[in-house]
Structure 1
Amino acid sequence: MQRVLNASLAVAALMAGWMSMKWLGLVLAVTVIAFWMVLQFNRASRQLRNVADRPKGMVDSVIALQSRLGHGMSMADVLAISNSLGQRVEGTNGDWMWRDSYGNQIVVTFRRGGVERWAATRTDSSAPAAGVPAKTLPTAAAA
């Protein structure tokens, strides 16, 4: 949806530029579109720089991450709320996993550029430990 909107706005800017000032308007529209693309690239680079400082696949709280997830969120949105790059789950195409220091983990499935579903597994202990029996939290399935 976002791609269609961006393409439509770019075409509209080009048409408006051409209709208002011919070649000068077209050059102005191309300049504005290029500037917008540089701004978007800068935003993505800044976000990746911010999450690169944290350990890969680690979050402060899986439960907090799970409560903020929503269907259709992009990977950029998930990176913004998790503040960490996820770890790709081996053997899957669009599954990414995050863990916290208590042993809880969440696996988020991305399809067509957005969150389709997620499943959190939570340990029964509140102290950071490994090997504690875990229980699975309710998963969010796509409607």
Structure 2
Amino acid sequence: MKIHLRKILVALGLAVLFVGGHRAWGWGGVALVAGGIVMWLLLHFNRFMTVMRRASERPLGYVDSAVMLNAKLRPRVSLLHVMALTRALGELRSPQGQQPEVYRWTDPGGSWVEAEFADGQLARWTMWRPQPEDEGETAAPADMPSAS
């Protein structure tokens, strides 16, 4: 069984807050700490609901710019954070319920970012951009000397 140190530290921290509140102000301190924790939970729930509401208003796997998303991604950010950046749910590319989860976001130009999440945190991502057509777009401008 995999035990996450972070979960243990959070539980110990909450216990220390409750004990400290009780020692400092009695049962009023416990109520104050409990009120603070409830407020913190409500703030996170409100953020979660805002992200999900915005994501529900956009197409699945859509992002305005895959290049900008690629520039803003950082290792170990949560799936909720990536959904807040894209304002859309990602298109699930891995089998349902299997770890790691792979999601893809595509922009209108055909570029996409595929992100791999292990235990809800971003592990790695790749970006793909379509190659320009060979219609003179790759040729050097006439006023610049060619590198030969």
TM-score of the superposed pair, with normalisation by structure 2: 0.74
TM-score of the superposed pair, with normalisation by structure 1: 0.77
Change (3 A) 1:22 1:9: same
State which of 57, 67, 71 in structure 2 corresponds to 1:67.
71
Whether the 8 Å CA contact 1:86–1:97 is kept in 2: the answer is yes
Whether the 8 Å CA contact 1:57–1:85 is kept in 2: the answer is yes
Change (3 A) 1:26 1:107: same
Aligned to 1:134: none
State which of 96, 103, 116 in structure 2 corresponds to 1:109.
116
Larger deviation, residues 22-31 vs 65-74: 22-31
Size of the alignment, in residue pairs?
126
Segments of 5+ residues of structure 2 without an aligned counterpart are 134-148
- Name which one, 1 or 2, has greater alpha-carbon Rg: 2
* Residue identity in the other structure for 2:44: Q
Q: Percent identity?
A: 27
Q: Secondary structure at the match of 2:126?
A: strand
> Could you give the per-residue CA deviations for residues 46-82 of structure 1, whole angstroms, max 9, x where no partner exists?
1111222111101111111111111111112111221
